Amino acid sequence: PPGTTLDGSGALVLGGVPAPELAATYGTPALVVDEVAIRARARRYADGLAARWPNSRATFASKAFPCTAVYRLLAEEGLGIDVAGGGELTLALAAGADPAGLVVHGNAKTEEELRLAVEAGAGTIVVDNFDDIDKLEKILRDTANATTGGEQPVLVRVTPDIRPDTHEAISTGQNGSKFGLLLPQAREAIARLRGSDRLRLDGVHVHVGSQILDTAPFAQAVEAVAELGEFAVYDLGGGLGSRYTYADRPPTVEEYLDAMIDVARRLLPADARILIEPGRSMVAEAGVSLYRVVSVKRGGGHTFVAVDGGMGDNLEVSLYQQRFEAAVATRPTGEGELCRLVGRHCESGDTLSAGVPLQDPQVGDLIAVPVTGAYTYALSNNYNGARRPPVVFVKDGAHRAVVRRETYADLMRRDLP
């Protein structure tokens, strides 16, 4: 993966730090994140978008990695921040994100969450349904938004009825999706918002799914929102896929931007502002999970290599059948034995890879699973009393923990006597 090399002994080096040194310092499992790779990706998005459409902003869909250190990093790079609900909103503000750059999402935003967003001066709230409009009207009747002078900018989330080729659980643009409004309902919401004196309709939002590996759905989404008329703002969402396995060939950031902006040049007003919200593709390839082999078991034609983590720190396999590569981090990867890389949790779905060649796997070996920067931290959990792993930033040969490993005491922290 990007930012990784092998040292003289064939050990994996992450952001200039040998993987064995990271494992010795922080233990395993650990999520190692190359800060330089995230910053580079953020700039590639921001610069690539600005070069194609100057009145624009790249926003980070923070659900992909909602930890304050990551919010800080992307806020420092000048990106806006997309938050889903009050929790991510609070994290973004705590990390020092500019409220004006916040885009607030959710298909079930409570009045409390919307109030939090309005009072924080969130630059954009995305209306997903008519109830959002009712709640916001009510909130704005008694709250003067300091940054907007009592007028809250909003976008309408549109469901264009597009079906990208991705896992059904992360497909959001089709008729039947719980997100957004189909074109006829979106038109109705737009008309209502145009008549509102407290909500300022800036434009429309569209996001058709995640881990999308071709550019066509992105172009189709822009065509669909263009049908709704001319607006000041078009938020084109996220969704670009990442390269999890050697076989994956996602479009590049530039190909992805070209696909959308080519349509925008034809169909959107030249002075409109364009926002994008990449999440996964901003952080996935910057992350590598490190595990220690606990057991190697052979039988029935299978080799099970069991590690000290699994679905507690990576739900991507269980939830979306995502495929990952893996390697012994201390030896050069060569021809290996086809192994099932499994976790420590009490169910058969707890697999990190159903078939990966590992060279002579031994108990105590360090295993690296690359491309784990997106949605793993976000979905990590305490199943079987697992302590969630630390997040370690690496940068030019230096390393620092930005999230510590949970302790057994943490597991009881919310329990009442």
Please indicate if the annotation marks 279 as binding a ligand: yes
Residue 313 interacting with ligand LLP (CB under 6 A):
no
Would residue 339 show up in a list of annotated catalytic residues for this protein? no
Among the residue ranges 22-30, 235-243, 259-267, 343-351, the one whose residues contact ligand LLP (CB under 6 A): 235-243
Task: Name the token pair of 59.
Answer: 């926003």
Helix (H, G, I), strand (E, B) or coil at 31: strand
Q: Other C-beta atoms within 10 Å of 298: how many?
A: 11
Residue 88 interacting with ligand LLP (CB under 6 A):
no
Q: For residue 37, what is the enclosing H or E element?
A: helix 35-52
d(CA 273, CA 397): 39
CB of 399 to ligand LLP, least distance (A): 26
Residue 281 interacting with ligand LLP (CB under 6 A):
yes
d(CA 281, CA 65): 11
- Mask of contacts with ligand LLP, 30-69, x by CB under 6 A? -------------------------------x-xx-----
d(CA 148, CA 152): 6
Q: Which is nearer to ligand LLP, 218 or 393 (CB)?
A: 218
DSSP category for residue 85: S
Interface positions, 171-200, toward ligand LLP (CB under 6 A) = none
Among the residue ranges 134-142, 274-282, 388-396, 397-405, the one whose residues contact ligand LLP (CB under 6 A): 274-282
CB of 83 to ligand LLP, least distance (A): 10
Please indicate if the annotation marks 325 as binding a ligand: no
- Mask of contacts with ligand LLP, 239-258, x by CB under 6 A? xx------------------
Task: Name the token pair of 320.
Answer: 């979306």
DSSP category for residue 171: B
Please indicate if the annotation marks 278 as binding a ligand: yes
| 240 Cβ contact list (under 8 Å, min separation 6) | 212, 218, 250, 251, 253, 256, 278, 280, 281
Q: Other C-beta atoms within 10 Å of 347: how many?
A: 12
CB of 24 to ligand LLP, least distance (A): 30
Return the residue of 35, 202, 316, 350 that touches ligand LLP, per CB under 6 A. Answer: 316
CB of 375 to ligand LLP, least distance (A): 3
Return the residue of 29, 80, 238, 389 that touches ligand LLP, per CB under 6 A. Answer: 238
CA of 171: how far to CAs of 127, 191, 238, 259, in Å? 19, 27, 12, 19
Return the residue of 86, 160, 278, 287 that touches ligand LLP, per CB under 6 A. Answer: 278
CB of 294 to ligand LLP, least distance (A): 25
Among the residue ranges 6-14, 272-280, 334-342, 346-354, the one whose residues contact ligand LLP (CB under 6 A): 272-280
Residue 160 interacting with ligand LLP (CB under 6 A):
no
Please indicate if the annotation marks 16 as binding a ligand: no
Helix (H, G, I), strand (E, B) or coil at 8: coil
Burial of 183 (0-12, 13-18, 19+ CB in 10 A): middle
Closest CA to 53 of 249, 220, 282, 273: 273
Under 8 Å between Cβ of 69 and 61: no
Please indicate if the annotation marks 375 as binding a ligand: yes
Task: Name the token pair of 12.
Answer: 């994996």
Catalytically active residues are 346
Annotated binding residues, as ranges? 239, 277-280, 320, 347, 375
Q: Which residues bind ligand LLP (CB under 6 A)?
A: 61, 63-64, 82, 105, 170, 207, 210, 237-240, 277-281, 316, 320, 375, 379
